[in-house]
């Protein structure tokens, strides 16, 4: 990204709706606070009293074995899954309170998955401007202007009128990220966004995420790319059995973990050649 204007907003939105009042607890500097999150699927307890704080501009990377609960946690934060117990606050607002409208909350959270989920029958530009125009009633010209500015910033302006199948996987994933940025999210949740990509395309997506970090975007990222975690994370959280077993700076958690189970996980990653 070339211009100095940041993509991510650095202050909370000034249009509070019902339930936007900060609670009495001190949420200063925190974008996300999860407390005592419990989630089970048909009796299978997947998140167990999980706590997580994410400060503004922080990049938190979730690592852990398959099934440890990383995706479920991200989906709970984005209110795609109801939690069974606990609370989630976004910018001090209790977003898991019953009266909260999930659509309104999701406007402030961007989420990108492993599968790009771009609409194949729409151009890149139409994919990006669909939600702003249809859902948020942003005038077409305004949405297009913002989309073009974002595409330009990530070097994809020349693809604006292409259909997704004419783009590489890396380019499609970058478009999927741009699609969330158009709402100026307070928080970006990225779930294995490079897992479906050919190895030579991973780098361009990781570079984009690094640029977002440098611009101050607050992010929670689930990844199996330990090298990337080491580079981009302010904090690495190792999940096991639906709990954060260990967390800290990447050099500590990835380089000198305290818990034997974290060490075993990393050993398996090294054996699989994924700790670069
Ligand atoms: N919709 C669902 N219905 C039933 N069980 C689910 C559902 N979603 C997740 N689970 C279960 O919850 C557990 C945690 O899954 P989750 O996808 O959060 O793990 P993960 O850490 O993201 O794994 P991976 O590294 O493979 O992506 C798994 O046992 C999974 O089978
Ligand atoms: Mg997952």
Q: Which residue has the tokens 């090294």?
A: 270
pLDDT at 233: 97
Q: How far is the CA of 161 from the centre of ligand 2 (A)?
A: 32
- The closest alpha carbon to 92, from 44, 33, 136, 162, belongs to 33
Pocket test for ligand 1, best of 71, 195, 225, 229 (most atoms within 8 A of CB): 71
Which ligand 1 atom lies nearest to the CA of residue 69?
18
Contacts of 161 (CB under 8 A, 6+ apart): 123, 124, 125
70-98 confidence digits (pLDDT tens):
999 999 999 999 999 999 999 999 999 99
pLDDT at 137: 86
Pocket test for ligand 1, best of 38, 65, 72, 193 (most atoms within 8 A of CB): 72
Pocket test for ligand 1, best of 41, 84, 193, 194 (most atoms within 8 A of CB): 41
Q: How far is the CA of 223 from the centre of ligand 2 (A)?
A: 8
152-198 confidence digits (pLDDT tens):
988 999 999 999 999 999 999 999 999 999 989 999 999 999 988 88
- Checking if the pLDDT of 223 tops 50, the result is yes
Which ligand 1 atom lies nearest to the CA of residue 192?
27
Three-state secondary structure of 152-183 = HHCCCHHHCCCCHHHCCHHHHHHHHHHHHHCC
- What is the enclosing helix (H) or strand (E) of 264? helix 260-271
pLDDT at 4: 42
Average pLDDT of 138-147? 95
Alpha-carbon gap, residue 252 to 274, rounded angstroms = 18
Ligand 1 lining (C-beta closer than 6 Å): 41, 46, 64, 66-72
Q: Which residues are close to ligand 2, an ion, with C-beta < 5 A?
A: 70-71
Q: Look at ligand 1, atom 2, and give the residue with the nearest C-alpha.
A: 41
pLDDT band for 35, please (50, 70, 90 cuts): very high
Q: Look at ligand 1, atom 26, and give the residue with the nearest C-alpha.
A: 66
Average pLDDT of 220-225? 94
- Checking if the pLDDT of 23 tops 90, the result is no
pLDDT at 91: 96
H helix runs in 60-168, sequence order: 70-77, 102-106, 124-134, 140-153
- The closest alpha carbon to 103, from 134, 127, 72, 128, belongs to 134
Q: Taking the domains of the chain in order of start, what are their residue ranges?
A: 30-108+185-271, 117-184
The reply to whether the predicted model has a pTM over 0.85 is yes
Q: Look at ligand 1, atom 10, and give the residue with the nearest C-alpha.
A: 41
Q: How far is the CA of 73 from the centre of ligand 1 (A)?
A: 9
Q: What are phi and psi of 103, to 5 degrees?
A: -65, -40
pLDDT at 10: 46
- Checking if the pLDDT of 19 tops 60, the result is no
Which CATH architecture best describes the domain 30-108+185-271?
A: 3-Layer(aba) Sandwich (3.40)
């Amino acid at each position: 990204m070339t211009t100095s204007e940041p993509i991510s907003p650095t202050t909370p939105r000034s249009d509070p709706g019902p339930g936007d009042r900060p609670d009495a607890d001190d949420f200063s500097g925190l974008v996300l606070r999860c407390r005592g999150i419990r989630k089970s699927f048909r009796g299978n307890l997947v998140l167990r009293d999980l706590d997580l704080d994410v400060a503004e501009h922080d990049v938190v990377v979730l690592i852990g074995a398959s099934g440890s609960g990383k995706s479920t946690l991200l989906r709970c934060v984005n209110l795609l899954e109801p939690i069974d117990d606990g609370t989630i606050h976004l910018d001090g607002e209790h977003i898991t309170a019953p009266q909260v409208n999930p659509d309104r909350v999701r406007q402030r959270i961007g989420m990108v998955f492993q599968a790009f989920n771009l609409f194949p029958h729409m151009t890149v530009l139409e994919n990006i401007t669909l939600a702003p125009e249809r859902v948020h009633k942003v005038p077409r010209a305004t949405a297009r202007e913002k989309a073009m500015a974002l595409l330009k910033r990530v070097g994809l302006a020349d693809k604006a009128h292409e259909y997704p199948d004419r783009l590489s996987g890396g380019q499609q994933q970058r478009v999927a990220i741009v699609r969330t940025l158009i709402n100026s999210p307070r928080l970006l949740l990225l779930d294995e966004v490079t897992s479906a990509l050919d190895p030579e395309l991973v780098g361009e997506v990781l570079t984009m995420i690094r640029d977002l970090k440098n611009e101050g975007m607050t992010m929670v990222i689930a990844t199996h790319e330990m090298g990337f975690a080491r580079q981009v994370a302010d904090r690495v959280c190792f999940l096991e059995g639906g709990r954060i077993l260990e967390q800290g700076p990447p050099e500590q958690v990835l380089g000198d973990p305290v818990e034997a189970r974290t060490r075993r996980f990393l050993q398996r990653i090294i054996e699989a050649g994924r700790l670069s």
